[in-house]
Every structure is written in C-alpha cells, then in structure tokens.
Amino acid sequence: MSELSELLSRNFAWAEKIKSRTPNFFKNLSKRHKPKYLWIGCSDSRTAPDRLLDLPSEEIFVHRNIANMVHSDDASCMSVIQYAVDHLRVDHIVVCGHSCCGGVRAVLEDQTSGPIDQWLRPLSVLKTSISERLQQASVDERSLALTELNVVKQVTNVCGSTTVKTAWEQGKKLSVHGWLFDIRTGILRDLLGEINSAEMAASIHKQYF
C-alpha cells in the first residue's frame, strides 16, 4: 500500500469510528458551521490549533501561513478575517506564534530566498529594530524575542484591518489576542490580554513600535 493510499484508509477508518459513536455526526456537521474563534497561526505541522486547544476542529476557523503573518495586501488573509467577522461572527481572533519557528530562524540567519524572502520581509524589518538591543543574546533568546514581537506586530495588523476597525465602530463584540505556543512544553502563553477597541490597539502599537 502506498503512503497516500494508507492516508485514505486511515480517513475511512476514522469516519467509520465517528459514525459508529454518533451516526448523524457528519450529517449534522454539514448543516452547521458556527465557530467562535478565528485562529491565525503558523503552517508548522506541530501547531494545529484543535490539538493545542483540545477542541473539536469545527469550533475554530483557521488561517495558517509561514510565521503567522498578516499582510494588508494578502487577499487570502484579509478575506478570511472578513468572512470570520462579517459572516461567521466570531467573538475572538487569536494570532499565535510559536517557539522553534523555522521562518523566524531563517530571518535571523539570513537564509531566505525566492518568494519566502518577500513574504518574510516585514519580519526582517522587525529583526533590524531589535538587533542592537539583543546583540549579546543567544540565538534562542533572539529567536524568542523576535517571535514575540512578530506576534504583537501581526496583532496590530489585524486590529488595523478595515474589517476589524469597522466591527468595532459598529459596536460588535470582537476581541483580538496575541498568544505564543511553546513547543517544548506544550503550553500557550497570552502576550497581550484582550484587545477589544481601536483605542486599546493604538495603545499597544505605541508601546511597542
């Protein structure tokens, strides 16, 4: 059996196991999609949000890319945010970075090229902003500092999106969060608390940038 055939077999076994426990599970699932959370995270296979949060996958609307970036000119990410807020009416948007991030390490070591170099260029700008302060720090310390600052930056980018600003102007219940997942311990850490207004977002941006 080929590797991909094995994956299809595993899928079939998984679906049969679910149906044996709850016969109408997939029928009901197809009729309803009402997640409470939008998760913007890294594509790293070790950071799947339903596993980290121990939640059913249908409760989390997900957008993932290299180094959990939020570019205002990224139509995919902006569309996800718009759909999550305007149509799914999520209550929370979480931007989550993680330790041991390959994208962050590549930027620190100047090892990016091709499309990924352009994608991570904003991260290179952040690296420059902290390079003097962290000149004597170890590689791991620099990596963690850049990962945390990147989460903060992407949170402010989410807050600055037209969709989120409009939602707050209209008085919608919506909060934005910045978290960090430590792969070495399995623990999530809240970096910024709950941001639920443009004023709070502006204050965080002023504090960090």
Residues catalogued as catalytic: 42, 44, 46, 98, 101
Distances (CA, A) of 207 to 126, 153, 156, 202: 15, 11, 11, 9
Retrieve residue 146's tokens. Answer: 């850049």
Helix (H, G, I), strand (E, B) or coil at 109: coil
Q: Distance between CA atoms of 112 and 125, rounded to whole angstroms? A: 14
Q: Distance between CA atoms of 87 and 172, rounded to whole angstroms? A: 13
> Are 137 and 145 in contact, with CB atoms under 8 Å apart?
yes
Retrieve residue 43's tokens. Answer: 């594509």
Helix (H, G, I), strand (E, B) or coil at 33: coil
Sheet strands (E) in the chain: 37-42, 60-65, 92-98, 175-182, 187-190
Q: Give the closest residue to 95 by CA, choosing from 160, 35, 180, 163.
A: 180
Maximal C-alpha separation, the chain: 60
